[in-house]
Amino acid sequence: MERLVNVERVCVRGGLYEVDLNQGECYPVYWNQADKIPVMRGQWFIDGTWQPLEEEESNLIEQEHLSCFRGQQIQESFDIEVSKSIDGKDAVHSFKLSRNHVDWHSMDEVYLYSDATTSKIARTVTQKLGFSKASSSGTRLHRGYVEEATLEDKPSQTTHIVFVVHGIGQKMDQGRIIKNTAMMREAARKIEERHFSNHATHVEFLPVEWRSKLALDGDTVDSITPDKVRGLRDMLNSSAMDIMYYTSPLYRDELVKGLQQELNRLYSLFCSRNPDFEEKGGKVSIVSHSLGCVITYDIMTGWNPVRLYEQLLQKEEELPDERWMSYEERHLLDELYITKRRLREIEERLHGLKASSMIQTPALKFKVENFFCMGSPLAVFLALRGIRPGNTGSQDHILPREICNRLLNIFHPTDPVAYRLEPLILKHYSNISPVQIHWYNTSNPLPYEHMKPSFLHPSKEPTSVSENEGISTIPSPVTSPVLSRRHYGESITNIGKASILGAASIGKGLGGMLFSRFGRSSTSQPSETSKDSMEDEKKPVVPPSTTTVATQTLPHSSSGFLDSAYFRLQESFFNLPHLLFPGNVMQNKDNTLVELDHRIDFELREGLVESRYWSAVTSHTAYWSSLDVALFLLTFMYKHEHDDSAKSSLDPI
């Protein structure tokens, strides 16, 4: 009869696992796992520890209990006085097991006794001393658990799912992304209990394992690998070879489609098991690691190297051929050019008709709310594809907001694979330090949108400068040496103060004459500064440049320069762009620096006793179990609950 009855499977662990009651096994829902998890039904429990008996013994005791007491009603099944004495009360029923026996003194007073020789001797001695059998060697059993299940006893509703995408090396260690996601999920649970316990919602992490299903070249690469140091070569073939596969025009599409199909499969499966997710506005974020960041980015943006190659060919065809040609050859080339242009126009019209008649299916079935990159080489790939800094601080320069609402780049300072993304949007952000990620145990941390930028390589603040010292002796933002990383997070106010002190000292040596304008150049060679120019009070001092792009006029009063400029710098440190950001900077019409709409690069803090050489080896895989990373992720995922009524974009920093 059990085989004929279709017993519904039971969801456990927040819906991530299912239990097959017939087989007594538990298995994950969203990913494959070779090892099955055995499951047993708990019916009879040991008093005190509330550990279940072995299922075989428990089933025998349950059958015997029902045969004796079926139809009878217990008074209070879950409010039993455990310490209730049964001295002098004989057992009404006894049942023999293989190594134990069970005595029923009443329907709710059941004791388990061991039939081992030592237990029998101890029981005989204690009974002769006046102790009862149950109190001397018996273990009380309870039918059912100490806490009764209620309708409210269920996990909180999931309003945000996070797809965790792995990078290289999954073939070498299959199932690693499942373990890494489990570590990240466990860290997130600890952070939720500590910082987000007042939320009635829940964030779920799902691993995306896309590598094991790909065929690629089969075993061709393994067959051509030399046998010497085979272990090392196999490790490289199983890890670094994924990068070569992705740069190959033959296998790149297979990797992209593998990840794309797995993301869509997981989303469809989750929505089918949680039908209210989409209706209640559930959100989806992606956490990608290493090469997975590049593949995920290409899926979201639809980037294809074939189209890039066609554009390059088209540009080459449009270039004039400067070699000598005969009249007939030039005439034929002109006709060929006109024909190609006509063909291109027809192709564009045909493509427009197809686009109007067909609704293009998006690559992903969901809108990405947050795209978290961890230890990501995405910036290098974009730079090699020709992405260069623009003149706006919008994320749309590299990832449109219509595709992904927020892009965040997380990296450890010693991670050898990670690169920054902000300098690809605005060049002068290469001299601004990434935002420091808060430690998870920081009390009342400052919100990230309120954290002020700080200089990456600040200038040393001079203590005293004599009037006769030359310009070369005064440190400037251009010539000052790079300071150690312990200056990270130094206040921009102190940096600006040092720059202004240097400018004031120069002005004092020039007889009270200060800078009247500041210029920059991206193509010219630095000009020389002679002693005659220092003595000439009528000529303004100009930094090395030949082309002035923006001007900034400062007050000529030597008495009030430092104070006014210092306090003005405290109000807005971008008012002196060329003192703070030498080189190629982007400015608005009002001579203020262009700012990012929101920060993208976020850096983990180094430990106090952390070795950088050892961290360079371990940091690339240290994100999964980090509580700092877990707090950072949840901070932005729970943020939408507070910002639903406000605008979706953050204020500029």
Q: What residues act catalytically? A: 290
Write the DSSP assignment of 233-282 as a string of letters. HHHHHHTTHHHHHHH-TTTHHHHHHHHHHHHHHHHHHHHHH-THHHHTT-
Which residues have C-beta within 8 Å of that of residue 5, sequence separation ≥ 6? none
CB 407 within 8 A of CB 369: no
3-state SS record for 359-385: CCCCCCCCCEEEEEEECCCHHHHHHHC
CB 487 within 8 A of CB 462: no
The strand pairing partners of 208, in sequence order, are 165
**Amino acid identity for residue 474 in this structure:** I
Q: Is the dihedral of CA 512, 516, 521, 524 positive or negative?
A: negative
Which residues have C-beta within 8 Å of that of residue 138, sequence separation ≥ 6? 103, 111, 112, 113
Q: Around Cβ 5, how many Cβ atoms within 10 Å?
A: 7
* Angle 165-167-170 from CA coordinates, rounded to 5°: 100
Listed residue (74, 40, 71) closest to 58, CA to CA: 40
Q: Around Cβ 12, how many Cβ atoms within 10 Å?
A: 14
Listed residue (557, 550, 548) closest to 577, CA to CA: 550
Show the tokens assigned to 126. Answer: 């204690």
* CA quadruple 643, 648, 651, 653: dihedral, nearest 10: 100
Which residues have C-beta within 8 Å of that of residue 319, sequence separation ≥ 6? none
CA distances from 61 to 43, 45, 509 (A): 9, 11, 99
Listed residue (92, 130, 136) closest to 113, CA to CA: 136
Which residues have C-beta within 8 Å of that of residue 338, sequence separation ≥ 6? none
CB 474 within 8 A of CB 505: yes
410: phi > 0 → left, psi -120 to 50 → alpha, else beta; which? beta
**Amino acid identity for residue 541 in this structure:** V
CA distances from 84 to 52, 126, 534 (A): 21, 19, 101
Q: How far apart are CA 593 and CA 514, in angstroms?
A: 22
Which parts of 144-184 are beta strand (E)? 157-165
- Angle formed by the axes of helices 176-195 and 627-637, nearest 10°: 70
